[in-house]
Amino acid sequence: MSVFVDASTRVLVLGITGHQGTIHTRGMKAFGTQVVAGTSMRKGVPEVEGVPVFESVEDAVKATHPNTACLFVPAPFAKDALFEVADAGIPLAVIITEHIPFHDMLDMLYYASAKGTRILGPNCPGIATPGAAKVGILPNVIFKPGNVGVVSRSGTLTYEIVNNLTENGFGETTCIGLGGDPVPGTTFIDALAGFQKDPETHAIVMVGEIGGVAEEEAAEYIGKHVTKPVVSYVAGQSAPPGKRMGHAGAIITRGKGTAESKVQALSKAGVRVAKFPYEIPGLVRQALKA
């Protein structure tokens, strides 16, 4: 169940007739992605942005053979939509939808895993491989092909960092937005393992934030399994305990999940940690020269 996308990626957009589904279908096609089908609860809509629209995932799969789904459906319908995707045998589901209930997401993860479907998200910007494919809402203009892999829990911070890398002469192999909810379908470790195996990726940028222990677990994994240089930034360093900062998962409780603990763990694993996002290109340059 790979989280990566490439030129062979064929995308089915669930909720394609909605405002966001339509806009971002246009953006994915402009990026060069093969968007082969969409689904909608609306009747009598034959196509959107030149993409055929079907009434069910099953019908769309039979007619167009997608291998990736992008979900823009409202949160109350997300669980049923994901079940349809998993039942149809689609191996990757990118869930853009936010505000999915915690227990719905637990059901979705269990069901998807049992069916062999990987979830990216929810509440994520998606994934982009410059020159090949994009699934989600990441801005097209910030990317160019290169040798830096990027994985992040934050959407808009990802855009800033990727754009900064590009403006400083770097390009990206793949950028993966994990999403900031408490129950993610794909983790830092999943992305790091993929980048470690990818021969085109020479350095990795990992953007974390306060809350949970995902960054500490990633640091342990890096120390044991990742030989490529890793540069990181941890957002939320000024957040007071007990306050949620933006994402549902970005909350410090009982001294755990602090920026300080994450920075310490990453530094101990040999990761170059930036104090500010604008420092990342310089640290990547140092890492690649080392």
Tokens of residue 6, six digits: 């490439």
Distance of CA 157 to the CA centre of its chain: 13
> Angle at CA 224, nearest 5°, toward 221 and 230?
65
**160: alpha, beta or left? (left if phi > 0; alpha if psi -120 to 50):** alpha
State pTM to two decimals.
0.93
Catalytic residue status for 247: yes
Question: Given this model, what pLDDT does residue 247 score?
Answer: 54
Per annotation, catalytic residue among 65, 202, 225, 247: 247
What residue ranges define each of the domains in the chain, with the CATH number in brackets? 10-120 (3.40.50.720), 139-289 (3.40.50.261)
Contacts 24+ apart (CB under 8 A), 256-262: 256/213, 257/210, 257/211, 257/212, 257/213, 258/210, 259/210, 259/234, 259/235, 261/216, 262/208, 262/210, 262/215, 262/216, 262/219, 262/234
Distance CA 92, CA 18 (A): 21
Distance CA 97, CA 217 (A): 26
67 by Cβ neighbours in 10 Å (0-12 / 13-18 / 19+) ranks as middle
Question: Given this model, what pLDDT does residue 209 score?
Answer: 87
Along the chain (290 residues), what's the average pLDDT of each consecutive run of 10 residues?
92 97 98 98 90 97 98 97 98 97 96 98 97 98 98 92 97 96 94 98 95 91 98 82 54 64 94 96 94
Contact (CB, 8 A) for 276 and 232: no
Contact (CB, 8 A) for 100 and 185: no
Closest CA to 229 of 210, 212, 205: 205
The alpha carbon dihedral of 57, 59, 64, 65 has a sign of positive
Which DSSP symbol is given to 146? E
What's the order of all strands across the beta sheet hosting 68-71? 47-48, 51-54, 34-39, 10-14, 68-71, 92-95, 118-120
Question: Given this model, what pLDDT does residue 163 score?
Answer: 97
Distance of CA 249 to the CA centre of its chain: 15
Distance CA 92, CA 95 (A): 10
Q: What beta strand segments (E) does 198-271 contain?
A: 203-209, 230-235
